[in-house]
Every structure is written in C-alpha cells, then in structure tokens.
Structure 1
Amino acid sequence: MRRRGIDALTHRAVAEEAALPPQTVRAHLPTREDLWCAALQYTLTGWVRRGEEFIDRLPEPLTLEQAARAIVEVATVHPAEHADTTRATIAGVYERYIQSGRHPELRPLIGRYNVELTGLVARVLARHGRHVQPEIARAVLAVVDGTVVYRLAEGETPIPAAIRALEVAIPLLCPFPNDT
C-alpha cells in the first residue's frame, strides 16, 4: 500500500510480501475491502504512534516556531529536519485521504484518525500554552494541509512553507487569553 497505493493492494501482493500462501491471507481477510481496511488501519495506527513520539520528545513550554514545527511533523508524519527528502512520502500521506474518498469502507478509519490527529495537535498547542477546542485544532490542521497540498502540486518542498504558515496562523486562530 505504501509503494503503489491501495488499488494495487491485493491478496496475492500481500501473500508475496509476507511469504505466505494467498489462501492464508484470504482466510484472515476474506474480501479486498477487508484487506484495504486492515492495511489502512495498520498505517494509521503507526502514524498516531509516530505523532505521539514526536510530541513526547518536545520540551515544555514550546516557542511558536517549535509548536509550528511539531504540528507539521505530526500532520505530515515526517520529521521537519528531513524536509528536502520526503516530498514523495508526504504525498503518500495525503493520498490516503483521496483513496478514502474513493472507497467508502475506508472513511470511518480516516474519520477516527482525524479525531486522534486533532487531539495530537491540541496537545502540541497546549505545550505552547494555548488550550483550544477541537474545531480550532482542525483549523490549524487545515492550514498545514492546504499549504502542503499547494506546495506538493507546485513541485516544491512543503514542510518549511507549512511551518511558516503556522507561525502566522496560530496566533490568529488561537490567541493567548490575554491577547484577545
């Protein structure tokens, strides 16, 4: 799924990758949709774990730049210091969303992931001293997602631009209580 996308994910491909007979894979995941859901769930669980790892290594309190950087890392599932070498894999993260739009059976998985992702962003913002409602955390994510997609479409490296966009957006979307 990571290399060729969900449409290329078949029982035979999984069996070959795992060095198992195709019947074994079919016994556990009888339909192609079951296979897709299992693969996406595995991927999303890893992304949440990776986001938690990014957050666990953060200092407290965070500067605005550190918070923006951490949110971009969590949203793109990539360390910001590898910004130049990860365009293709970052695109793969966003392709999972497109694939879920095309395959209704995947939508609940993405929906649950989005709730967890929103919570991770709220945790980062809290370390920066900003306590936000989920809709504000989703708006912060929208800034990252929009910037990343635009930059990917333009053939550019998206991480530095997304960090800069958040440095502008965070104070506007979630000001400190005494800033209002």
Structure 2
Amino acid sequence: MAGAASRDKLVSTRDAILRGALTVVGEHGVGGLTNRRIVAAAGVSLGTLTYHFPSQTALLREAMLLFVEEETAKLGAIVDGYRSEGLSVEQAASVVEHVIAQLPFGADELGAHELYLQSARDPELQEASSRCFAAYDELAVTILAALGVPEPHRLAGPVVALIAGLQLRRLATGETDTPVAEPLMMLIRGA
C-alpha cells in the first residue's frame, strides 16, 4: 500500500512538472523555459525537477506526449459520444467546428504548438512529435471510417494538417470564429 501511495505521489509530481513546463512554454516560448520558471509553475523544488528530468529535451518530449495523450483522449470521448448518432459527413464537420471553437485558447494550447516548432529544430524531439501526429492521424482515421469515407488512411494526414493549421491561425490572429466545416468538407469531397 505504501508503494502505491509513493508511486501516485511520484506520478503527480512528475505530472505537475510537465504541466508547469507546458505553461511556461506557452507563456514565454521554448527560449524562455528555465528551471526556475518551471519549478515556480509546478510548485516543486529545483532538485525534484532535475531528479525527474535530467535534460530539457526529456522534459519537453514528455510534456508534448502528455498534452497529446490528454488531447486525443478528450477528442476521442467526443467522437464516441457522437458515433452512435450516425452523423453524416456534413454534420460531423459541423461538430468538429463546434469542438474546435470550444478548445482552450491559452498558454497550454500555445505551448503545444511551440513544442511542435521546436521539434523542427531539435531532432531528439521529432520522435515524440511523430508519435503525437500519429495519434491525431489515428483519431482522424477512426472518425473518417465511422463516417464511411473511402480510404480514411489517405485522408487522415491532410485532415489533421487542415485542422492544425486552422488552430494555428486561430492562435496567431486571435480570431475565434475561423470556419472549419467548409474547408473540411471541401477536402473530404475533393478526395
């Protein structure tokens, strides 16, 4: 029993550090990621940070994977909620637009995009980034297959890229009403 409590505390400390890192990256960018900022955001000591994450790359990789794991779980739950309703492709595109409009519009979302960009500069992060996009692609395949879209594997990457690009535009411009349903329908119908 003591081992389980110790393990839970270890997971929650680790989780706090990862969330703290995402917050710092979202607020200050990867260049502004310092151990002092991370420990302040996470509420842990400097020794605890370095115990759990011996390098910044390891920390960034795990933070990225945590974000995507939670994001795909949240989006997957939404998909499961609509799956039994037998939505048409048009209805599904409208649901996607509504879901995107409800996504957080803050430091954590911005932090994830910062990490993807950092992956282009740091080959050690590219594997984690690839895993993240593979999870998004898998979710897109599941949705497209449930809608009866032919060759869902072929369309998954472009669908994910369209949605990610529209999200980036939303973050960069502050426009919260960027349309998603129409461009998504154009992509699916064009295929």
- Class of the TM-score when normalised by the shorter of the 2 chains: 0.7 to 0.9
Q: 1:82-106: per-residue Cα shift (whole Å, max 9, x none)?
A: 37x8387655543332122122221
1:46 matched to 2:70: yes
Q: 1:64-96: per-residue Cα shift (whole Å, max 9, x none)?
A: 2332245557xxxxx24537x838765554333
Unmatched runs of 5 consecutive residues or more in structure 2: 1-21
1:122 matched to 2:180: no
> Which residue number in structure 1 is paired with residue 184 of structure 2?
166
Secondary structure class of the residue paired with 2:180: helix
User: Do the aligned partners of 2:36 and 2:46 also contact (CA within 8 Å) in 1?
Assistant: yes
Structure 1 distance, partners of 2:109, 2:59, is: 23
Task: Compare 110-119 and 96-105 and name the one that shifted more.
Answer: 96-105
> Which residue number in structure 2 is paired with residue 17 of structure 1?
41
* 2:43 aligned partner, one-letter code: A
> Which residue number in structure 1 is paired with residue 82 of structure 2?
58
User: Do the aligned partners of 1:122 and 1:134 also contact (CA within 8 Å) in 2?
Assistant: yes
Deviation at 1:54, TM superposition (A): 1.9
* 1:167 aligned partner, one-letter code: M
Taking structure 1 as the reference length, the TM-score comes to 0.74
Deviation at 1:118, TM superposition (A): 0.7
> Which residue number in structure 2 is paired with residue 68 of structure 1?
93
What is the count of residue pairs matched by the alignment?
166
Residues 88 and 28 of structure 1, relative CA distance in 2, 3 Å threshold? closer
Unmatched runs of 5 consecutive residues or more in structure 1: 74-78, 174-180
Residues 106 and 172 of structure 1, relative CA distance in 2, 3 Å threshold? same
Structure 2 distance, partners of 1:52, 1:143, is: 18
> Which residue number in structure 2 is paired with residue 8 of structure 1?
32
Structure 2 distance, partners of 1:70, 1:123, is: 15
1:26 matched to 2:45: no
Structure 2 distance, partners of 1:114, 1:153, is: 20
Q: 1:22-65: per-residue Cα shift (whole Å, max 9, x none)?
A: 01110121112122222222212111212212212114321223
Secondary structure class of the residue paired with 1:58: helix
Structure 1 distance, partners of 2:123, 2:97, is: 27
**Which one of 126, 144, 152 corresponds to residue 107 of structure 1?**
126
Residues 69 and 98 of structure 1, relative CA distance in 2, 3 Å threshold? farther
Task: Compare 9-18 and 43-52 and name the one that shifted more.
Answer: 9-18
* 2:156 aligned partner, one-letter code: A
Structure 2 distance, partners of 1:6, 1:140, is: 27
Residues 91 and 69 of structure 1, relative CA distance in 2, 3 Å threshold? farther
Root mean square deviation of aligned Cα: 2.8
Structure 1 distance, partners of 2:139, 2:172, is: 26
> Which residue number in structure 2 is paired with residue 176 of structure 1?
none
Taking structure 2 as the reference length, the TM-score comes to 0.71
Identity over aligned residues, as a percent? 26
Structure 2 distance, partners of 1:109, 1:64, is: 31
User: Do the aligned partners of 2:140 and 2:156 also contact (CA within 8 Å) in 1?
Assistant: yes
